[in-house]
Amino acid sequence: MTETLSSRITASVPRYTSYPTAPHFHAGVDADIYRQWLAELKPGQRLSLYVHIPYCDRLCWFCACHTKQTLRYEPVRSYLQSLAAEIATIGALIPAGVTVGALHFGGGSPTLVAPQDMIDLADRLKQHFDFAADAAISVEMDPNDLDEARYDALAAIGMTRASLGIQDFNPKVQEAINRIQTFEQTRGVVEAVRRRGVRSVNCDVLYGLPHQTLQTLENTIDDVLSLSPDRIALFGYAHVPWMKKHQTMIPEADLPDAAERYRQMMSAAAKLVDAGYQAIGIDHFAKADDSLAIAARNGALKRNFQGYTDDAADALIGLGASAIGFLPQGYVQNMPATGEYQRLADAGGPAVIRGIALTDEDRLRAHVIERIMCDFALSFEDLRARFPDGAETIVAEARQLAATDAEALCRVDSQGFHLTAEGRAMARSVAAAFDAYLGNGKGRHSMAV
């Protein structure tokens, strides 16, 4: 590995699940502006809903999500009441004729929610939003939370995709990240949801974890493949203890170095491709007949705060503490602190406290970064058609980047800008070259691989 490539791997760059990224959101976009943006949605447009449950009954030390541990259910019950108030408020602000095509429950651990409470929550969403008959419903699942009643409740709400966090099955690695979860537990979850008609199962695996080696990761991949999931997400562990204090429980000396982390990523990815999964973007893999793989082949792959998606919704509505939403006009984020979120929601107002309105240049660069992250390429012809006033600036930047690229990560031809085979693993780093906000000092990010 060259010194230049090593520095790229360890460089701090965003994951680009939005552009501009969240550190650039500001209080100038508030609840009143959010109301206005919602009112400007038009009949016939499609929504996605994201519902955040910020509680877990154990705190995994690797986690960088907005969540908190609770061993009592009362805080969860109280939070659900406030969430119900926000659902009613936002639902009333959505114009008639706007339909919901997808719903995602994330966390935290949504499967911590009691069975009847989950059914009531889904019913409330359907009461206040107009759901399409074919709406997809996905749920992030913790195998340690689940029992037959919860499986039945998830089936009752119409869950179409189960997303299971696995990370690594090695006991030493699990102990180091405070997430004990056996292969047998995980296999039981997959079998239980499939018995109830769920046809799409996603599994999350991490590399770069403490005490993780090439062999332990390959063993985990073999176990995951035996479950035959429809999708597999292969994420790099983001060590951000300055943002998530509980990550200080993971000694940095126990983490693999940059070179080993890179080898883990490349080895696991090759193993998944050899098993017949289509590589999608920088960290997803799917069976060829999965809708995500189809979208990737058709150039319709998208990227949002849940990662790669085939969801072509016009807007994403975030519900719950810290939830981020996207509308044609820009991004919004709810109050992250749970108690303050509840106060705002209970008062009958949107809980939005910050966001960012998109400029024409933001839209241009958002498109460029999304295509690099999704397609590893950028068509100059398409760019000129979409953005006639700004395309040539990007074309010039792309040509300059390729001309000065010592690692041969990208190239330019008459058709456009392309990442090489070596460059695809470094897509975040390449995309960062088109980020006009990155150098202003706002926010710290995880390493590029």
pLDDT for 36-78, tens place per residue?
A: 999 999 999 999 999 999 999 888 777 777 788 898 999 999 9
Residue with tokens 């660069």: 365
Tell me the domain boundaries of the chain: 19-357, 360-435
- Asked if 216 and 183 count as a contact pair (C-beta separation under 8 A), the reply is no
Closest CA to 178 of 216, 210, 217, 219: 210
What is the CATH number that goes with domain 19-357?
3.80.30.20
* DSSP letter, residue 293: H
The CA–CA distances, whole Å, from 135 to 43, 48, 95, 323, 335 equal: 17, 9, 19, 20, 27
**pTM exceeds 0.75:** yes
* Residue segments in the chain with a per-residue pLDDT below the cut of 50: 445
Is residue 203 classed as helix, strand or coil in its secondary structure?
strand
Residue 268: count of CB within 10 angstroms of its CB: 22
Amino acid at 233: A
- Domain 360-435 belongs to what topology? Arc Repressor Mutant, subunit A (1.10.10)
Residue 354: count of CB within 10 angstroms of its CB: 19
Closest CA to 204 of 169, 176, 232, 173: 232
Distance between CA atoms of residues 212 and 210, nearest Å: 5
Give the list of residues 6+ apart from residue 222 with CB closer than 8 angstroms, or none. none
pLDDT of residue 63: 74
pLDDT of residue 409: 95
Burial 91-123 (b: 16+ CB within 10 A, else e): beebeeebbbbbbbbbbbbbbbbebebbbbbbe
> Hey, what are 386's tokens?
């979409």
Distance between CA atoms of residues 137 and 116, nearest Å: 17
> Hey, what are 92's tokens?
């009333």
Residue 137: count of CB within 10 angstroms of its CB: 20
Alpha carbon dihedral 87, 135, 193, 148, in 10-degree steps, equals: 30
**Burial category of 49 from C-beta neighbours within 10 Å (exposed 0-12, middle 13-18, buried 19 and up):** buried
Give the list of residues 6+ apart from residue 383 with CB closer than 8 angstroms, or none. 367, 368, 391, 394, 395, 416
pLDDT of residue 3: 53
* DSSP letter, residue 128: H
The CA–CA distances, whole Å, from 358 to 166, 302, 371 equal: 36, 18, 18
pLDDT of residue 248: 80
pLDDT of residue 449: 59
Distance between CA atoms of residues 437 and 440, nearest Å: 6
Q: Which residues pair with 304 in a beta bridge?
A: 307
Distance between CA atoms of residues 301 and 320, nearest Å: 26
Amino acid at 375: D
